[in-house]
Structure 1
């Protein structure tokens, strides 16, 4: 896994290719963002804006510059009103609702939009890029409502809040306080922008919000994939399972690379090349035996989804495209977020299946019919007090609830296209809804994983109580020791919500270095 310590080296925005990790590093303030000062880069940006200026001077017709927006593209704008048009665009799109994006999500949006505009194909000025970079430098975060985008013509409504803040309007979060953008800009001596022709459209008519959320979602899913693998190994051990279900020769005949990698990790965790201490069962239940086949789907999908997300991140995705080099205006539909919608619908499905897998593993561990000698509900109480203690009974109920909700969220958003905006936007991606759904599935799955960390710690300890000669393989011994430092054995009933929240924080900080392939 990537080192999550702060790195003073800036992420440079100059039109060169960025990665998911770059966006996440900026979002989590582990690396600063920096707009390139390279003269060649800035000249390339300026060429697009200069070309637009010449076209306007020559009475050229440009969508969204000399015409209205969307279905209103047939409306010609009088020359004296062209300068006002970008401000009307963000003004009438100020109709978002729902929660505000988190600070991390908002920083990711700023990074993602800056990355796209830095491609030099949007006809914007260097000054616009500098203003976005200034927001990032001072951590001035537009308050962006999460709801209101259909994912084509891009993330219009949420990105209108970025456009407005660049111009000193609406509200921001600054130094932990909700404030008017104009007041914060004035306090810092930052001049509000007056948008040039096309700049309102360039900011808003793109996929920055869905792509930003997708970068954050991908990173969280990648880590959960590894934690679920380690937890499976612990649960096999706790339930006295058959370690030979993960044999290398077995997986060689089904050549899904990610599935093989997951099996290899479990095999290494269990040190399954050593003689087994349990040979009485040929086959464990599917949630243990088939764990590589479930987690492996996510492991195999992640590289493909990375490609989709990073291609979108490194694209010019507004409309029209302004090719200043060849002096062409190209009208198209690059604001369409179909690839992100597909990636997020697929990712949430694969992640929810992992939550379901872990839920089934917990159901085996707490049930004396299936846990091979462990106490009911993994209770650590003994003697007469065992009768009044309930172990992880309620925790298993909560895991079932979180899993059910995650599975419920897997309905693909991308198939719910709605014709809108006078049937101009008659086929839309729903990519931003898919990304928000994916983040919710990840949140629920992280809750499942936090609970499973408690259960695995409990189960392994109780197995060792039954089998005093059991020696934990090195990786599992290290993980168990860490968990025992964080979580006391559940003997007498106690509330576990505080420990769950602490573990959730640790998961989101990627506190455990799990596998290095």
Structure 2
């Protein structure tokens, strides 16, 4: 989320980064490689499929049925209708629809995989996905219905359907019939060539797209939770020496040490010595680098898994036009994304749990070193009727509990389906959807904590237990940003709208968390 804006992303004969997928999701334009030799490399795969048909060769999903129906021969008079039937019978998705941003990420991931030239599709198909992205014509894709192998068949059928002019799209802020939008813009629906329906749908683009977006949010949350921890330490009059560089050199996990360095820089521990009567703060402060650091140290392997999948040909069969081979396999299996997402949701939910514990400490006068209960800013006799952040902390507990509940790994719940052809599946898309939900809940917890710790630091300053001038520029900047939306809570008032606004800013990466 801290990456600079990118306005144009190139596809074809280059590897994409997950940040570039995020940029496309947020509205960047796509540019397909237009070099003649690249176009020829794509067309060669499509021509190879044509030559096999002319020779009456047997190709899965081209001259046969799909899945367990691979033993059913399809006559040459029907092969051109087969891709359309594939897209249509998979039009059974349910649940909420993916957002426009998420659907754009899906389109980018599928375009990038097909642009590798291993799927037997035409250059025209790649151009059409590029056009849809650049006109911001986005398929309406239901979230539910994929078991993650054979890839994301049902959700990706909604992309295939839009290419042929069917189902619905988001366009100009409205959900509209694809045919209506095409007519308005004089766009001719594609007729999918043999293998193109399968190439579009039999892959991991949905789970990979969500993984790219999830990674972006998770790495931002690691920084934000570090900032919140520093603010919690200030609120609690904590011992800043818990984050000492010499201390952390003794346990050299690099991500954990990075988190400790960020907190240390926020606290300026030489100016904020221990000033409570506790030699050691409770674990939710003292061990915060060890908790946040698990995510920080896991991010590199998660990036490797996600970006390798992003830059892979992940449909079936693979078309080797140069060597004239059709290679039947299982590259649609989303096990790496499933593992990355199951791991990420665990580490992110632990951030929610950490902040929940910090919130419990700052609310409770038995543990918060002299602050009012629930961080209420009410004074005098009015303090009896004011309850500060009491209900917000209950909400934090609810959001945290739901996040923790969703950490059950989806990948262990493989189901045998489709006449036991798909008898071991990845559940990668469910894992990714779970991870997105855990991120949402954790961002809600973080939003509540930003408000609460800002209130706590203001209380310390008003009680002359903390000097405003001693705050580091990074913490002072966060306080200033939060205070632009959030007035000191001296009298009870509904906080829903400012909480929602704070969550939105977290998701847009608007809180400055760099030093």
Corresponding position: 1:67 with 2:64: yes
State how 1:124-273 maps to structure 2 within 5 Å: 124-273=121-270
What's the counterpart of residue 292 of structure 1?
Answer: 289
Structure 2 CA distance for aligned equivalents of residues 469 and 376 of structure 1: 19
CA displacement 1:3-22 (0-9 Å, x = unmatched): 454x43x1011131001100
- In structure 2, relative to structure 1, the CA distance for the partners of 1:64 and 1:469 (3 Å cut) is closer
Structure 1 CA distance for aligned equivalents of residues 401 and 234 of structure 2: 26
Structure 2 CA distance for aligned equivalents of residues 27 and 476 of structure 1: 31
Structure 2 CA distance for aligned equivalents of residues 434 and 191 of structure 1: 37
State how 1:318-333 maps to structure 2 within 5 Å: 318-333=315-330
1:82 alignment partner, SS class: coil
Instruction: Work out which of the residue numbers 95, 100, 103 in structure 2 matches 1:98.
Output: 95
1:33 alignment partner, SS class: strand
Deviation at residue 182 of structure 1 after TM alignment = 1.1
Deviation at residue 211 of structure 1 after TM alignment = 0.4
What's the counterpart of residue 21 of structure 2?
Answer: 23
1:59 alignment partner, SS class: coil
Instruction: Work out which of the residue numbers 43, 46, 55 in structure 2 matches 1:46.
Output: 43
**Two-structure CA RMSD over aligned residues (Å):** 1.1
Instruction: Work out which of the residue numbers 119, 129, 135 in structure 1 matches 2:116.
Output: 119
Indicate if the aligned counterparts of 1:15 and 1:115 stay in contact, CA closer than 8 A. no
CA displacement 1:67-114 (0-9 Å, x = unmatched): 110001111111111111111101111110001110000000000000
Q: Compute the TM-score of the two structures, normalised by the length of structure 1.
A: 0.98
Structure 2 CA distance for aligned equivalents of residues 279 and 370 of structure 1: 11
Structure 2 CA distance for aligned equivalents of residues 475 and 126 of structure 1: 49
Structure 2 CA distance for aligned equivalents of residues 227 and 60 of structure 1: 57
List structure 1 segments (4+ residues) > 4 angstroms apart after TM superposition. Answer: none
Indicate if the aligned counterparts of 2:477 and 2:512 stay in contact, CA closer than 8 A. no
State how 1:489-500 maps to structure 2 within 5 Å: 489-500=488-499
Deviation at residue 474 of structure 1 after TM alignment = 2.3
What's the counterpart of residue 472 of structure 2?
Answer: 473
Structure 2 CA distance for aligned equivalents of residues 497 and 511 of structure 1: 19
Corresponding position: 1:383 with 2:383: no
Deviation at residue 180 of structure 1 after TM alignment = 1.2
2:143 alignment partner, SS class: strand
Corresponding position: 1:309 with 2:278: no
Deviation at residue 400 of structure 1 after TM alignment = 0.4
Indicate if the aligned counterparts of 2:276 and 2:369 stay in contact, CA closer than 8 A. no
Corresponding position: 1:76 with 2:98: no
Deviation at residue 515 of structure 1 after TM alignment = 1.9
Structure 2 CA distance for aligned equivalents of residues 275 and 125 of structure 1: 64
CA displacement 1:450-491 (0-9 Å, x = unmatched): 100110110110111223552222221222122222210001
Structure 1 CA distance for aligned equivalents of residues 32 and 510 of structure 2: 31
Structure 2 CA distance for aligned equivalents of residues 26 and 455 of structure 1: 35
Q: Compute the TM-score of the two structures, normalised by the length of structure 2.
A: 0.98
Q: Which moved more, 1:272-281 or 1:287-296?
A: 272-281
What's the counterpart of residue 432 of structure 1?
Answer: 429
1:467 alignment partner, SS class: coil
Q: Which runs of 5+ in 1 are unaligned?
A: none
Corresponding position: 1:482 with 2:481: yes
State how 1:272-291 maps to structure 2 within 5 Å: 272-274=269-271, 276=273, 278=275, 280-291=277-288
CA displacement 1:240-292 (0-9 Å, x = unmatched): 00001011111111111100000011111111134615163210000000000
What's the counterpart of residue 404 of structure 1?
Answer: 401
